[in-house]
Amino acid sequence: MKTYYFNQNLLKQFLLSIFSVIAVASICYLSTNYIGYRSVALLLLATVSILAIFVTVFPILVAATLSALIWDFFFIPPHFTFQVNSSEDALLLLMYFVIALINGVLTSRVRHLEKMELQKEERQNAIKLYKTIFESISHELRTPIATIVGASDNLLQKNPNLSKGDEVKLVTEISIAAFRLNRLIDNLLNMQRLESGLLKAKLDWCDVNELIYSAINRLKDELTNHKLHVKIPNDIPFVKLDFGLMEQAIINILHNASLYTPANSLVTITVCLIDKHICIIISDNGKGINGVVPESIFSKFYRANKKNAGGIGLGLSIVKGFVESHHGTIKVENAIPSGAKFTILIPTEVLQLSENSNFADSAS
């Protein structure tokens, strides 16, 4: 298959080279009386030089040879013969062919070397990225596994000095570590599904309140030291979403807030309907995204603070993929007066249940 595509590409290069030379020669033939046959050589030489930027060596050899033959046959007196009566024209033809050949081959060679250098740089970047990813994943795996192993050993040893409260604490540590491990594996699997194109949102009627509070409940340990403020209208209707995907998207944004904001920070979740679109806004009062290109935050393996932050940088990239699977959009910007603000906007069907428009506020 690879050979087939290579041969097909090479054939296209040959056809491009031949067609370009013939096209330029045809235009020059119609203008010979105005520009002279020696000027034609410069135009054909320029054509070969430009072709060298786009094609490889062998098509350039064909283009240089063909252009020299066409110039000799159609333009150098006597016309329509390869005979050259003037020694000056013969020398000019020879020099044209040599210059066209050398110029074309050298240009093509330089382009090839630049391509090789670019590929080398890409390989080095890929190796560096692989190393970073491997170290991040190793760290993210090692931490919860070490917690689980350590806590399990303490429980299995049945230490008489271990109180009931200590046992509960150890079990809680195991639970938190297991959830962290499960989230990491879920993120890796979800990224694979997104990249393979196999992920499709399965839409069904969802209760927005249930969606938001289910995500919060799954992150209750990470958000213990944060203040939560949820703002959802009383009359918010049922909407058609993929509950699992959107729950995970909200979890990832909230987890990101728990990582990048200090203790006692306020995280606000606001939900509303805007022209048959469900709008979910999650903001915090941390440092925000100053000095960062907003779009880069959704890049795969992006981490704002590689040294101190946990995770492997997949969370927000997955959020973007999940939102886009609903044909929605997500953007991030600095909140006022401080912090980061994520806005999710998804087109959806609605099932209206009441007509009250009061807001239900809750804080935790």
Answer left, alpha or beta for residue 291, where phi above 0 means left and psi between -120 and 50 means alpha.
left
> Distance between CA 176 and CA 154 in Å, rounded?
16
pLDDT given for residue 305 in this prediction? 60
Domains of the chain, start order: 2-121 (no CATH), 204-363 (3.30.565.10)
pTM over 0.75: no
pLDDT above 80 for 270? yes
pLDDT above 50 for 301? yes
What band does 213 get if pLDDT is binned at 50, 70 and 90? Answer: very high
Mean pLDDT of 74-93: 87
pLDDT given for residue 364 in this prediction? 47
pLDDT above 70 for 307? no
Phi, psi of 312 (to 5 degrees): -115, 10
pLDDT given for residue 132 in this prediction? 64
Is 36 or 356 the better-scoring residue by pLDDT? 36
What band does 5 get if pLDDT is binned at 50, 70 and 90? Answer: low
Q: Which of 159-173, 209-223, 226-240, 326-340 has the lowest mean pLDDT?
A: 159-173
> Distance between CA 361 and CA 230 in Å, rounded?
6
> Distance between CA 124 and CA 144 in Å, rounded?
31
Q: What are the structure tokens assigned to 331, written together? A: 């953007």
Q: Which of 94-108, 172-186, 234-248 is modeled with the greatest confidence? A: 234-248
pLDDT given for residue 355 in this prediction? 47
Cα distances (angstroms) measured from residue 112 to each of 10, 55, 124, 204: 15, 10, 18, 53
Mean pLDDT of 7-22: 88
Phi, psi of 199 (to 5 degrees): -80, 125
What's the mean per-residue pLDDT of the chain? 83
Phi, psi of 299 (to 5 degrees): -75, 150
Task: List the one residue out of 21, 290, 13, 312 whose CA is nearest residue 191.
Answer: 312
pLDDT given for residue 187 in this prediction? 76
Mean pLDDT of 70-94: 87
- The pairing of strands 227-233 and 329-334 is unpaired
DSSP E strand boundaries for the chain: 204-206, 227-233, 238-241, 266-273, 277-284, 329-334, 340-347, 350-351, 359-363
Phi, psi of 303 (to 5 degrees): -135, 130
> Distance between CA 305 and CA 244 in Å, rounded?
29
Answer left, alpha or beta for residue 197, where phi above 0 means left and psi between -120 and 50 means alpha.
left
Do 347 and 277 touch, CB atoms closer than 8 A? yes
pLDDT given for residue 259 in this prediction? 85
> Distance between CA 218 and CA 179 in Å, rounded?
9
pLDDT above 50 for 357? no
Task: List the one residue out of 292, 272, 280, 276 whose CA is nearest residue 333.
Answer: 292
Mean pLDDT of 244-251: 92
